[in-house]
């Protein structure tokens, strides 16, 4: 059975929105290694519609000499959406939320998630998310979408790995308790 593995940049106050505005001062070799390891272990991507649209507007237009662009563009992508009808980004399949469990049970390697916080929380609640990797940045953003909004419900987690980078970023891995 495949695992669903999510990775998110998050601030101390729980903000996951627009990390491009606050994340880069903390990016270093350790973080690059962590992100690269997580991305390379997954065979396909699982995305929510908003994250898909952001990625689809960027990655197909990057140089084929960029190894990250080549990986992102070539990898199979599954988008959970009830509104996206005609995905333009290569190797993209639109699925309904109810299809995620069957996708997880199907053949193939792990499914990686980058971003898609609403989908991440939904999959955690449903018991479908196997690992949650949080790169906790030592910054208070003050506003923006938080990973766990009011009403997210009770979701018990177990810390399975932790590392502190020289920038003060915490690399934390959780599984359902």
pLDDT, position 102: 96
Half-sphere exposure of 145 (CA within 13 A, CB side): 14
pLDDT, position 85: 86
pLDDT band at residue 103, thresholds of 50, 70 and 90?
Answer: very high
Question: Which residues, 6+ apart, have CB-to-CB distance to 97 below 8 Å?
Answer: 80, 82, 122
pLDDT digits (tens, 9 = 90+) for 1-23: 899 999 999 999 999 999 999 99
- The residues with which 135 forms a beta bridge, in sequence order, are 9, 171
Helices (H) then strands (E): counts for the chain:
5, 8
The pTM of this model reads: 0.93
């Amino acid at each position: 059975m495949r695992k669903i593995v999510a990775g998110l940049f998050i601030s101390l106050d729980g903000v996951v929105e627009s990390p491009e505005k606050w994340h880069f001062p903390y990016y270093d070799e350790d973080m690059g290694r962590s992100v690269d390891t997580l991305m390379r272990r997954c065979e396909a991507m699982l995305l929510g519609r908003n994250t898909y649209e952001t990625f689809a507007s960027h990655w197909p237009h990057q140089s084929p000499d960029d190894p990250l662009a080549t990986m992102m563009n070539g990898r199979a992508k599954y988008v959970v959406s009830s509104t996206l009808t005609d995905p333009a980004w290569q190797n993209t399949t639109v699925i309904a939320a109810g299809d995620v469990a069957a996708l997880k049970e199907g053949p193939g390697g792990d499914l990686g998630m980058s971003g898609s916080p609403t989908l991440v929380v939904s999959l955690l609640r449903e018991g479908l998310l196997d690992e949650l990797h949080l790169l906790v940045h030592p910054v208070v953003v003050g506003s923006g979408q938080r990973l766990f909004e009011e009403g997210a419900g009770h979701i018990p987690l177990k810390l399975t790995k932790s590392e502190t980078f020289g920038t003060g970023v915490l690399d934390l891995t959780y599984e359902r308790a």
